[in-house]
């Protein structure tokens, strides 16, 4: 007879239960890392299914649900899903809603990997036309009988073009198509796309929403009907967000309003400084009066224009390296939306895989640099760029 070692068994299970009578309402949301939750019997299991309770982590998790509830509140959406990255949010949505023979109209100035993903849809017999989303005639001319989706970013990455969401929603709905908006750059604090008419809103929570550079997460928001359709695909694709990342993003979103407004005011101040500098060829920021969509942005976004801007440097590769090397507060980073100002070179990062011919059509030159404004003191941030520009040959 095998020796029964009850002590070893007890070690596995002791401390696994919490006396709920001793637990008051916590100030901070608890972290639920458990992959699975125990049930007492099959009746309990089926009851868990019926109420969409917690049984297995890929299907449901308390931290993920908490983050989704907060995103829905911010975006004024009926329901949201939390994914393991911004690209997961985009890919899961497109795969769930598109079918063989469908057509997509997309902005030509999207994030590089969004463009790559849309191009890959051709293997499923899904066609995509990239247009200037700011040209309403060009968008309408691209509509076909099989157009299923119009896809845009609220503010284009990295050219800072501004999409007229209300106008696009009317066009999409008149042709029985969906309008999908990536609202990462503006966040729901500055603009609520669903209120303006979007059917689905995408957010990379990795960026401004989390805000601290320690999470990879995305969100899909919309009507309960559409979200449930997308959810079925999310579970099968396995693109659900991790509990700890969801917990961190929830923490980050608590200060989103404070951070993004400061980042926006810093971005405007920096843009107004840069546009006056002889070393700068052009500045792209919708808060500037000279921006092509400034009037639209003022009406659509009210008092804030977001924390992102781009500019073209007068100079070559060496000049860009000199600038990057002389910046002290601002550092090069392959991300955006954090509390510290960061800078990137789209040709070398976000649009590295985009063919040069396509980049030229978008307006992405080798001299273009993209800045994500942080929450530093405004004067310190401007001085950082002032002293760096002064040292360029």
Q: Are the beta carbons of 149 and 177 closer than 8 angstroms?
A: yes
Q: Are the beta carbons of 129 and 104 closer than 8 angstroms?
A: yes
Annotated catalytic residue: which of 41, 51, 353, 393? 51
What CA–CA distance (Å, rounded) separates 381 from 392? Answer: 18
What CA–CA distance (Å, rounded) separates 335 from 208? Answer: 10
For residue 51, indicate whether it is catalytic: yes
Decide the pairing of beta strands 79-83 and 200-204: unpaired
Burial of 48 (0-12, 13-18, 19+ CB in 10 A): middle
Annotated catalytic residue: which of 64, 108, 148, 207? 207
What CA–CA distance (Å, rounded) separates 352 from 348? Answer: 5
Annotated catalytic residue: which of 182, 199, 245, 384? 182
Burial 250-262 (b: 16+ CB within 10 A, else e): bbbbeebeebbbb
What CA–CA distance (Å, rounded) separates 304 from 370? Answer: 18
Decide the pairing of beta strands 127-131 and 218-222: unpaired
Decide the pairing of beta strands 218-222 and 280-284: unpaired
What CA–CA distance (Å, rounded) separates 198 from 329? Answer: 37
For residue 207, indicate whether it is catalytic: yes
Catalytically active residues, by annotation: 51, 111, 182, 207
């Amino acid at each position: 007879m095998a020796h029964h070692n009850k002590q070893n068994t007890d070690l596995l299970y002791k401390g696994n239960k919490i006396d709920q009578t001793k637990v008051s309402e916590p100030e901070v949301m608890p972290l639920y890392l458990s992959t699975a939750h125990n049930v007492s019997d099959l009746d309990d299991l089926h009851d868990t299914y019926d109420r969409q309770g917690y049984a297995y982590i890929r299907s449901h998790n308390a931290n993920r649900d908490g983050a989704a509830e907060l995103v829905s509140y911010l975006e004024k959406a009926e329901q949201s899903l939390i994914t393991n990255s911004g690209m997961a949010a985009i890919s899961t949505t497109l795969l769930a809603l598109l079918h063989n023979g469908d057509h997509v109209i997309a902005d030509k100035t999207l994030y590089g990997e969004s463009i790559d993903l849309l191009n890959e849809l051709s293997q499923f017999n899904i066609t995509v036309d990239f247009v200037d989303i700011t040209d309403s005639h060009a968008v309408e001319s691209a509509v076909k009988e099989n157009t299923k989706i119009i896809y845009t970013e609220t503010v284009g990455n990295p050219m800072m073009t501004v999409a007229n969401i209300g106008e696009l929603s009317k066009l999409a709905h008149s042709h029985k198509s969906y309008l999908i908006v990536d609202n990462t750059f503006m966040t729901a604090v500055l603009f609520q796309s669903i209120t303006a008419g979007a059917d689905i809103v995408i957010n990379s929570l990795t960026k401004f929403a989390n805000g601290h550079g320690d999470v990879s997460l995305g969100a899909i928001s919309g009507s309960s009907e559409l979200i449930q359709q997308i959810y079925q695909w999310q579970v099968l694709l396995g693109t659900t967000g991790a509990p700890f990342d969801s917990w961190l993003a929830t923490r980050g979103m608590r200060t989103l309003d404070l951070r993004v407004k400061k980042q926006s005011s810093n971005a405007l101040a920096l843009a107004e400084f840069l546009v006056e500098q002889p070393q700068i060829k052009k500045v792209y920021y919708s808060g500037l009066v000279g921006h092509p969509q400034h009037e639209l942005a003022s009406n659509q976004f009210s008092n804030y224009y977001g924390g992102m801007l781009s500019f073209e440097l007068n100079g070559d590769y060496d000049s860009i390296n000199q600038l990057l090397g002389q910046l002290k507060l601002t550092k090069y980073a392959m991300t955006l939306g954090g509390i510290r100002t960061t800078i990137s070179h789209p040709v070398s990062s976000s649009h590295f895989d985009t063919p040069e011919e396509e980049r030229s059509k978008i307006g992405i030159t080798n001299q273009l640099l993209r800045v994500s404004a942080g929450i530093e003191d405004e004067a310190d941030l401007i001085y950082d760029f002032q002293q760096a520009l002064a040292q360029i040959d």
